[in-house]
Amino acid sequence: MLTKLTGGTLYDPANAIEGKVRDIYIRDGRIVSTPPASEPVHRSYALDGKIVMAGAIDLHTHIGGGKVNIARTMLPEDHREHVRRSTTLTRSGSGHATPSTLAAGYRYAEMGYTSCFEPAILPVNARQAHMEMADTPMIDTGGYAMLGNDDLLLEMIAEGAEQETINDYVAWTLHATQCIGIKVVNPGGINAFKFNARELDVDDLHPHYRISPRKILRTLSLALNNLGVPHPLHVHASNLGVPGNFHSTLSTMDAAEGLPIHLTHVQFHSYGAEGDRKFSSSAAEIAEAVNRHPNISIDVGQIMFGQTVTVSGDTMRQYANHGHAHPNKWTCMDIECDAGCGVVPFRYRDKNFVNALQWAIGLELFLMIDDPWRVFLTTDHPNGAPFTSYPHLIRLLMDRSFRNDLLSQINPDAAASSHLSTLDRVYSLYEIAIMTRAAPARILGLTDRGHLAPGAIADIAVYHQADNPERMFQQPMLVFKQGEVVVEEGRITRPINGTTQVVRPDYDPGIEKRLGDWFEQYHSIKLQNFRISDDEMAAGIGSAVTIHPCRGRN
């Protein structure tokens, strides 16, 4: 069957198309080149005057896994205030900061998102993360497995294991957990907290293993590079939220030694310790460093004012921040010599100096980092704000007077100590399309999405033109998933389920001998039961895998 989208105005940065009127043809769920005129078109959509982009991709959103379910459990008040009724097509759900899985999938699709990635999968909890994402309809999903706080890796590095052995372990982990990337969270720090260390800066030595976070970062980024995994090491740096932590962030960039790394929710890592309150913006220093290092990409983790909940693998920093919990309750967990998690509810207030400055710092980063291909639009859902605030965030980037209006309402001392009022830059639609489509696809190694050229999956979002970008991005006119209309005027018309995106770098299966012995002696789960098979993904967990290519081992 041939489908034609006629007359839409395309923003397709991967193919350098900026606001050009082009027709799109779809067959068997993929975009195809213009067919011969003799071929009948079975369905066509007149999109004159409409904005057409590839489906949006969120590369960092906590939508599945144990810590999200703990947060749901802890926030009945959030769920009571935000319910979603069942319809003849869709299931019921609840929650704003931590929506139920079905509600999250529907809402993402209603905003034109077609692929989302859970950034913090504990290997031992991977089954749950995939089960939750399988129950998140409408979107394709994927995840990054957490390494760098597991006792096994730290022991290997401390013993001076060959890089090749570590590469095998990293590759094995990607296979066993059905993930597309590797993330390190507070390198070594979550583990050090289990030994009662309360801080671990980039060049501090771990209290037991006597290795530094710098060494862990370097080892893991080299492993991914050697294995040819497209997504560089996804790094949640040391000292999240600590005033003056921009030094750690700069050291983290330095630790990569030129290898590609992705620094996540950098807003939380761009703090100085200047001024009367010993808290200041160092966004300029960070942006300047990002501009100078082409191997670095970042996502922002913008905060928005209001109630949310912070969920993180960073037990050390979540524990340290528990005094800020609002409402006053919090949970932390040490997990299986693998990592941990912390859940701390949070309310960001615009009249609070620190919160207001956090808001400004996020925007400063967006506006001071030059290359939109290396900065991604995230709120670190739900840590900075729920993902539903993306349209509002896009407006802040595209509309300077709107931004300045809001700036005038926040804590005046924070506004005065920020550069924000002097930043004239506004994002164009083309740049928004880069940071929400083309660039995330590229950095994840997904050649089949994030663009509109023949061969791409026909994941497409069509928007009404509007002066207010917030309104425009809140409610697309149409969303296509694999060539089928699934959303019309912001409402689900066809519920569907996606697949799980994975990579499969080669490795020497001999590594299982060492892993098996370790599991046998120290773990409470056997290696055979730890690994998730493709059959299990498809028939048991309920989301088949889509394998994306690696570059090949070097």
Partner 1 sequence: MWHNKIGNITNAVTCPGCGLSCDDLQLEVSDGQLVSLEKGCTLARSFFDTALTPHDHNPMIDGSRTSLDDAIAQSAELLRKAHAPLFAGLVTDVNGMRGTLEVADHCGAILDHCNGDGLFRNIRVLQDNGWFATTFTEVRNRADLMIVVGNQCFDRFPRLIERVLNPEHSLFSSASERKLILLGPWDNGSLPTDIEAMACTVIPVEHRQLSDAAGVLRGLVSGRPVNMQAFGDKTGDQLVELATQLKTAKYSVIAWSATELDFPHAELTIQCLVDLIKDLNLTTRSAALPLAGTLADVTSNQVCTWQLGYPLRTRLQRSYPEHDPLINRYQTLIAQKETDLLMWISSLSPQVVPPVTDSPTIVLGHPGMTFENDPDVYIPVGVPGVDHPGHWYRSDAVCPMPLGRLRESDLPAVSQIMMLLNNKLLQATGE
Chain residues 329-388 in contact with partner 1, contact rule CB under 8 A: 329-338, 343
Give 56 or 200: the residue with its C-beta nearer to partner 1: 200
Binding partner 1 by CB under 8 A: which of 29, 158, 259, 319?
319
Binding partner 1 by CB under 8 A: which of 140, 151, 314, 431?
151
Which parts of 125-144 interact with partner 1 (CB under 8 A)?
125, 127-128, 131-132, 135
Residues 6 or more apart from 276 whose CB is under 8 A from it?
A: none
- Binding region for partner 1 (CB under 8 A) out of 122-130, 174-182, 263-271, 493-501: 122-130
CB of 234 to partner 1, least distance (A): 21
CB of 30 to partner 1, least distance (A): 30
Binding partner 1 by CB under 8 A: which of 536, 544, 546, 553?
536
Give 335 or 367: the residue with its C-beta nearer to partner 1: 335
Partnered with residue 115 across adjacent β-strands are 57, 140
The token duo for 18 is: 């900026």
Binding partner 1 by CB under 8 A: which of 99, 181, 260, 313?
99
Binding partner 1 by CB under 8 A: which of 122, 223, 360, 438?
122
Give 423 or 527: the residue with its C-beta nearer to partner 1: 527
Binding partner 1 by CB under 8 A: which of 19, 42, 81, 86?
86
Report d(CA 440, CA 377) in Å as an integer: 10
CB of 117 to partner 1, least distance (A): 17
The token duo for 35 is: 């067919």
Partnered with residue 344 across adjacent β-strands are 310
Report d(CA 531, CA 171) in Å as an integer: 13
CB of 79 to partner 1, least distance (A): 4
Cα-Cα-Cα-Cα torsion 472, 478, 479, 482, nearest 10 degrees, comes to -150
- Binding region for partner 1 (CB under 8 A) out of 440-448, 455-463, 470-478, 524-532: 524-532
- Binding region for partner 1 (CB under 8 A) out of 400-408, 460-468, 472-480, 519-527: 519-527
DSSP per-residue string spanning 106-173: HHHHHTTEEEEEEEEE-GGGHHHHHHHHHTSTTSEEEEEEE-SSSHHHHHHHHTT--HHHHHHHHHHH
Report d(CA 171, CA 179) in Å as an integer: 10
Give 72 or 442: the residue with its C-beta nearer to partner 1: 72
Binding partner 1 by CB under 8 A: which of 62, 79, 234, 395?
79
Which parts of 195-234 interact with partner 1 (CB under 8 A)?
195-196, 208
Give 134 or 266: the residue with its C-beta nearer to partner 1: 134
Give 401 or 521: the residue with its C-beta nearer to partner 1: 521
Give 72 or 247: the residue with its C-beta nearer to partner 1: 72
Binding partner 1 by CB under 8 A: which of 34, 35, 210, 522?
522
Under rule CB under 8 A, residue 177 binds partner 1: no
- Helical packing angle, 246-255 and 213-227, nearest 10°: 40
CB of 45 closer than 8 Å to CB of 478: yes
Is residue 33 exposed (0-12), middle (13-18) or buried (19+ Cβ within 10 Å)? exposed
Report d(CA 378, CA 236) in Å as an integer: 14
Which parts of 257-296 interact with partner 1 (CB under 8 A)?
none
Give 32 or 496: the residue with its C-beta nearer to partner 1: 496
Cis peptide leading into 469, omega within 30 of 0? Answer: no
Report d(CA 154, CA 532) in Å as an integer: 23
Let me know the angle formed at the C-alpha of 99 by 98 and 101, rounded to the nearest 5 degrees: 120
Which parts of 38-77 interact with partner 1 (CB under 8 A)?
64, 66, 68-70, 72-74, 76
CB of 424 to partner 1, least distance (A): 42
Binding partner 1 by CB under 8 A: which of 93, 148, 450, 476?
93
DSSP per-residue string spanning 319-360: HHTGGG-SSS--EEEEETTTEEEEEEEEEE-TTSHHHHHHHH
CB of 151 to partner 1, least distance (A): 6
Give 12 or 132: the residue with its C-beta nearer to partner 1: 132
Binding partner 1 by CB under 8 A: which of 40, 521, 552, 554?
521
Give 183 or 395: the residue with its C-beta nearer to partner 1: 183
Give 196 or 554: the residue with its C-beta nearer to partner 1: 196
Distances (CA, A) of 394 to 1, 127, 321, 406: 36, 34, 29, 14
Report d(CA 393, CA 202) in Å as an integer: 32
- Binding region for partner 1 (CB under 8 A) out of 354-362, 371-379, 469-477, 539-547: 539-547
CB of 84 to partner 1, least distance (A): 6
CB of 137 closer than 8 Å to CB of 105: yes
Report d(CA 184, CA 236) in Å as an integer: 6
CB of 9 closer than 8 Å to CB of 430: no
